[in-house]
Structure 1
């Protein structure tokens, strides 16, 4: 049910509606004449999109459009003429191309393809687009000197290309990625992280994130999506960063500076589906859905969670396009990993329910094997994360190949933080319960962009009695989240947190619509109780990263009752985390394995005369005991 709700929600695309005039068009360059071809074959060096030669003064424009009759290139270079630049069709009928000379390499040219004399589309491979509806709401502070839309000359989305794009010099080229087991990932939506919603303003908050101790940022989708205000899961152009967040070089600087601070950058990649502004959808479309001749898309979705239009990943055209997208972002932006949205959708096996959709799918495994091989050929150590939620039998296959799976503990952890214990067992946070042979394949989290916020449910639905109240009690609710985090970060393996979870963000996920923009609460950081939660998160994260015990494969745990505990042991130390998630006192009885002094990272040391710890814990009370003091 939750995934179905997500799927419906991701279809929402919110666009600013304030009334402003589109910025006036600038003077266009003198028309440029096309080069007469001597052969209909693709010229050497040509590829999908645009390839510049002769120091940016010449360019080959190429469009993959099998089955189409004619294509013309229209743009600033030919005064948007529909007849001046007819493109040449290759003998196999799959490609159209044209070569232009005498271009100014320092000029941005807007252009479109006119297909069969009736359809104007942008270039699917372009790195920048102009949107006649939404660009007017992008400020000069966000995107300086944004090229004006060619009003009156064409309609729809247009592409932009430039021979000599403004360069970026990478400074932090020696960045060493954290080991998978050490990853603590911060999932971040640029739009809702700072009021300015830009890469540059987010960059100014790196000290906050470094202080928290995270070592990876997972950016929600930043390639061009429909509208401005979006989660980004409604993509339309896959090579162009969305201008609502800033320039291409702003994004590169953000990644570069993160590397300089020891933080990996992972990009949320959406290749299950695309939306109607995509030229690849428009090229073969009957007005409602893709036609049977579409090289990339299914006519109808093959699974129950699709939004937009469903890619067919058994199609050679889709495979090539997807690989081109992956390689481009890996090489151009020096990213450290991808998190693939709705990875379970990479299948052509039809299903109408989650059970059959989640069942082991050999075809899906083969598709992912192909994509993984491509990414590994570019960067053998690249992080590959799947939002799969398939049966364990299939996830084990991927984990054994070095991929990482999203692992959602939101329901059980939130039941525990609210004090409702009937379904509060978060044993699925342990890799062995999935059949994995290693913890590094399981990224567990209590919150993600998809889930209701723990704090919202704590203060709205929390349990209570005369002596202990969670519902409506911010201070108590924050302490409950702190206790849950102590357990989350004690579990071996990579972890993830959703932005502002470390200060108890408590705005309903459906505020302003599920995917609508949310209030930004930087003032929470100065609130003493919320700052205490941030400090606790920072302590847990740093202990996880600085003490090898938290990577131990020798452990026992009991997460099923009111008293929850986990004990980890290695050759040098033993750590026991124990806490009472009930709303009444409960007695904890845990085998510590040895007597003597035990250090408490969160309180007072204790001395055991027997190997069994037996102590009454108040509701919400927890401890992190260790035989040797932990490095903090």
Structure 2
């Protein structure tokens, strides 16, 4: 029996070159056998294309392709393969390798690199371990190529092993087995066979001679003995068990008991199998385990499981991996002293363990998670939030986030995902924090500092699916099924195919499997205990079902699945936050909300329309858990105007905003004021809320620029624009208001949001509140419907009105909003600290313009002082004077009554010291 380890040489025969020893100056015919390697292009209808480049002496690694022929989706004839039957294809590389790839003279070509794909680029042929395929480029003269056996071939003791080598310009090729001469040949190819009679490692060394030169190459074989059987030691769990500073016990679960044997490969045995590192198999065949002794305390060791001599996987429960394709792109400033990948000793992802690790010293051992009803969550993506893409730098922004007033931060996925540049919804390893963002203790330090500031940390967890690098997937996977392969029918963790089309990504977890449920519980337990996270936002829990369909309908089994998971989480941390991106029928979401889970509530559409002034579609009353469309019993709706997955409101305002006369939402200042307006009707609604990063500064880059998941500019410089900084201050003041007064957590409230003049009434024993706002682009007058007569106080203006009739009407300018309470509150200093624009810019805004009764003036003062305001008619006569007005440094909100002015055009002048600012105004 012959089995393959998968060490160097695994790509042999997937591609064959003619001539067999091509040089840079040769024309070469590449023959690709689509049935070999991962085999996914077998049976595919042509055309098939090569995606190809070269590895040169200037490549930074063995996978750093140079001079690639065509972009991924470019179907060029130059890379189009010719079918020759039986799933084989050819490609002519000519007139020479150097000319075909366009490699300059003087640059040494070491290998040709390939993957193959269908015309759409959706099915990709790679090597058996899904790595790239390489063909060596040789120097002219004596060369030797061992075609079989593969390096690292595994055999049973007593097996007969066939061998074949080819040599160019050789007069003699000799074979030595374990250093002893075996046979020779003066012709090429040199073929024969040997018998492997003893257990252990054996080396086959081939030596080629010409008249003046000798060269050699070797392959290793391993002959295995009997499989050791032993039951699991007491007290161990799946994964890496640290026994003491010199000892670990590794445990691998094989629920179907279909694997035959497993070896450990790693730094501790130079990546070579031996009887010492063959894992014990339990009597029922469901576990493999091995204890490793005499380790050096504090040393990092890399390892893999070698399963049945065919598959190498990293430890599924490991806290750190090494990635041969992406680690090289992680800056040393983000991850200092990253352990090098064991290049040349293995392939694929490897796991890392380390005894005697220095435990993190927590500042905050026990953090009281904010109540779900009072959450103000800030969702952020590390890559797009800080230029370093590092969690340590995010920690440096906590003054900014704390100043905004949020009490929870939700991190988009931070466990190891495929690649370094991603949203993270392509997970691979669930117990390892992604190294692209920092070291393990960097994450802990971030969470610790958040807790020190009273901020909870929620992590986005993707358990609906994973992608192809998951070891649990690879253990039972059929690479020839489906477009990119699929889980085999006996995979204990995954569905063979996704049941909930069209909402399918990666490979779908089977949440009805007890093994999947145990894995899910382990993941959640780990992050709660090891990192002290405060909860999870679970991605696409609609997919936690095996019911065929789009997942929209009520599903009692899915409800029970989520209740079971939630109960386990609460056993670990009773106040943990469990947030679901569920998006199913309301009757199901209501049941889950009653169970204490929180559910994402996407109000992006209606808030966006309201902000743009598109009134027919602007009813955002479903932001309330009490809305008729919901009728929930508990305030467990996490409402949001924006998330990572929605278009940015400011982009909509600037591109689709409505206008009337001189009021234009597409104008930046007005667009930002509309975000104040929507904020006033968002943060004041009882129940948890979430905002997306930089929304508080009016972030206006489209989600699709240049693509949905592509990196976006950060625009921290927006803080220097006083208009954007003012929006930040307004939202901060709204959040402060929300978190400081119980009325904004009341159950006694109503929302009227169907028209232009929208209203919120909130009632509570100590204080009542009324929010009114005009979402039209023209003046609007309506009855606010104050709860009672008497004095009411404007939160932002600091003014008061005496309501003598609850039916009295109030006119609002376009975009104007007011927050009234029947208890005087401290006026927020929303203009404090704002930087005055350059003297060439107007530091004031006058609105509405045209005006009817009241003219509002936003003025940014460089310092505290007295100012005066004069209004002149078009003949130059002064018709209004307001003097000795005191302003503070930063933003000031002023108003003047214009009811006595006849309709017409006027000039308004604001004087501060030696500075005079002028605006034309129209009175109607």
TM-score bracket, shorter-length normalisation? over 0.9
Aligned to 2:74: none
Unmatched tracts of structure 2, length 5 or more: 1-57, 64-225, 480-484, 829-924
1:224 to 416, 419, 426: 416
Q: Alpha-carbon deviation of 1:393?
A: 1.0
Alpha-carbon deviations, 1:214-250, whole Å to 9, x = none?
0000111100000101111100000000000000000
Aligned to 1:129: 321
Under a length normalisation based on structure 1, what TM-score does the superposition of the two structures give?
Answer: 0.92
For residues 385 and 516 of structure 1, the distance between their equivalents in structure 2, rounded to whole angstroms, comes to: 25
Q: Alpha-carbon deviation of 1:83?
A: 3.6
Alpha-carbon deviations, 1:230-278, whole Å to 9, x = none?
1111000000000000000000000000000110001111100000011
The alignment partner of 2:443 has SS state of helix
1:151 equivalenced with 2:346 (yes/no) = no
Whichever structure has more strand as a proportion of its residues is 2
Q: Alpha-carbon deviation of 1:616?
A: 1.7
**Contact 1:547/1:630 (8 A) holds in 2:** no
Aligned to 2:491: 294
Alpha-carbon deviations, 1:322-341, whole Å to 9, x = none?
11001001100011111111
1:21 to 47, 60, 67: 60
1:332 equivalenced with 2:530 (yes/no) = yes
For residues 719 and 264 of structure 2, the distance between their equivalents in structure 1, rounded to whole angstroms, comes to: 53
1:43 to 205, 215, 233: 233
The alignment partner of 2:241 has SS state of strand
Q: Alpha-carbon deviation of 1:470?
A: 1.0
The alignment partner of 2:306 has SS state of strand
The alignment partner of 1:325 has SS state of helix
Q: 1:571 to 1:93 in 2, by over 3 A?
A: same
Q: Alpha-carbon deviation of 1:20?
A: 6.3
For residues 407 and 62 of structure 2, the distance between their equivalents in structure 1, rounded to whole angstroms, comes to: 41
Aligned to 1:187: 379
**Contact 1:20/1:136 (8 A) holds in 2:** no
Aligned to 1:623: 818
1:530 equivalenced with 2:724 (yes/no) = yes
Q: Alpha-carbon deviation of 1:438?
A: 2.1
The alignment partner of 1:185 has SS state of strand
1:68 equivalenced with 2:245 (yes/no) = no
Under a length normalisation based on structure 2, what TM-score does the superposition of the two structures give?
Answer: 0.63
Alpha-carbon deviations, 1:56-108, whole Å to 9, x = none?
21111111123111111100001101344211211111111111111112110
1:589 to 783, 787, 794: 783
Q: Alpha-carbon deviation of 1:397?
A: 1.1
Aligned to 1:445: 640
For residues 38 and 116 of structure 1, the distance between their equivalents in structure 2, rounded to whole angstroms, comes to: 14
Aligned to 2:508: 310
1:342 equivalenced with 2:540 (yes/no) = yes
**Contact 1:452/1:509 (8 A) holds in 2:** yes
Determine which structure has greater relative contact order: mean sequence separation of CA pairs < 8 Å that are 6+ residues apart, divided by chain length. 1
The alignment partner of 1:417 has SS state of helix
1:177 equivalenced with 2:369 (yes/no) = yes
Q: Indicate the RMSD between aligned Cα atoms, in angstroms.
A: 1.7
**Contact 1:452/1:508 (8 A) holds in 2:** yes
**Contact 2:544/2:558 (8 A) holds in 1:** yes
Aligned to 1:363: 557
Alpha-carbon deviations, 1:584-632, whole Å to 9, x = none?
1111212102222210012232222211241221110110011112356
- The list of structure 1 runs, each at least 4 consecutive aligned residues, that deviate by more than 6 angstroms after superposition, is none
The alignment partner of 1:227 has SS state of coil
**Contact 1:298/1:309 (8 A) holds in 2:** yes
1:611 to 802, 806, 809: 806
For residues 21 and 61 of structure 1, the distance between their equivalents in structure 2, rounded to whole angstroms, comes to: 34
Alpha-carbon deviations, 1:446-482, whole Å to 9, x = none?
00001000001110111112221112x1111111011
Number of residue-to-residue matches in the alignment: 597
Alpha-carbon deviations, 1:345-370, whole Å to 9, x = none?
1111111x3xxx12111100111121
The alignment partner of 1:488 has SS state of coil
For residues 326 and 580 of structure 1, the distance between their equivalents in structure 2, rounded to whole angstroms, comes to: 45
